[in-house]
């Protein structure tokens, strides 16, 4: 194994050890000694990669942020395909499948209170930059639409976690896209008019 590969593996081991502890208790109660003991390294090794446990948390949060491409590609499809996205449910499901468990912890009561805000800010910044490049006329108004959309997406996912994932991730993704394209009032009206027999 090359030196760079060994370094990457050591860093990964430390990150995973931290995460194992973070699942169980708040960051204030996690010590560097616990991380290094669990990962099988010395305290000195930890300081080669991180300054403290809070830096490890920041690295973990950064890894959960969607890439520019993941944010922009659906917007490009909307622009190029007259408001439609090809196979949107698959795209959202892939992101949830890759990061879902850790995002759930971060958004949950024992997670980092700032994570949801940082996630929202990240998506908004990328989407606004794209809108600026396009030369959208109603740029200020567009930002409010983005905010509504992002907050809805995050809250839907958070509720799904709180409800112990009582629907499949594919159903959640499809519902998210249905609401995004149809509008909440139209979807609610359709659901309220599609009632069980005898209701």
Summarize the chain as % helix, strand, coil (round to 5): 75, 0, 25
Per-residue model confidence (pLDDT) at position 62 = 94
Total-model pTM: 0.77
Per-residue model confidence (pLDDT) at position 43 = 94
pLDDT exceeds cutoff 80 at 83: no
Tell me the pLDDT tens digit for each residue of 121-152. 999 999 899 888 888 888 888 888 888 888 88
CA 76 to chain centre: 20
Burial class (CB in 10 A: 0-12, 13-18, 19+), 14: buried
- The residues near 22 (Cβ < 8 Å, ≥ 6 apart) are 30, 57, 60, 105
Per-residue model confidence (pLDDT) at position 195 = 67
pLDDT bin (cut points 50, 70, 90) of residue 184 is low
Rounded to the nearest integer, the mean pLDDT of the chain is 84
pLDDT exceeds cutoff 60 at 86: no
CA 31 to chain centre: 26
* Class of 3-60 in CATH: mainly alpha
Provide mean pLDDT across the span 178-197.
71
- Residues 43 and 37: their CA atoms lie apart, in Å, by 9
């Amino acid at each position: 194994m090359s030196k760079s590969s060994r370094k990457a593996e050591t860093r990964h081991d430390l990150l995973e050890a931290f995460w194992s502890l973070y699942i169980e208790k708040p960051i204030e109660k996690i010590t560097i000694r616990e991380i290094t003991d669990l990962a099988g390294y010395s305290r000195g090794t930890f300081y080669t990669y991180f300054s403290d446990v809070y830096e490890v948390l920041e690295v973990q949060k950064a890894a959960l942020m969607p890439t520019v491409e993941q944010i922009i590609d659906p917007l490009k499809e909307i622009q190029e395909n007259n408001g439609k996205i090809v196979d949107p449910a698959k795209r959202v499901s892939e992101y949830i499948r890759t990061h879902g468990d850790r995002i759930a912890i971060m958004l949950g009561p024992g997670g980092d209170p700032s994570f949801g805000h940082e996630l929202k800010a990240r998506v908004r910044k990328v989407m606004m930059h794209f809108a600026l490049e396009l030369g959208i006329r109603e740029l200020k108004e567009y930002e409010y639409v983005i905010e509504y959309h992002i907050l809805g997406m995050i809250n839907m996912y958070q509720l799904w976690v709180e409800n112990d994932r009582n629907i499949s991730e594919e159903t959640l993704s499809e519902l998210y896209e249905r609401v995004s394209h149809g509008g909440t009032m139209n979807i609610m009206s359709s659901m309220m008019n599609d009632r069980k027999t005898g209701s």
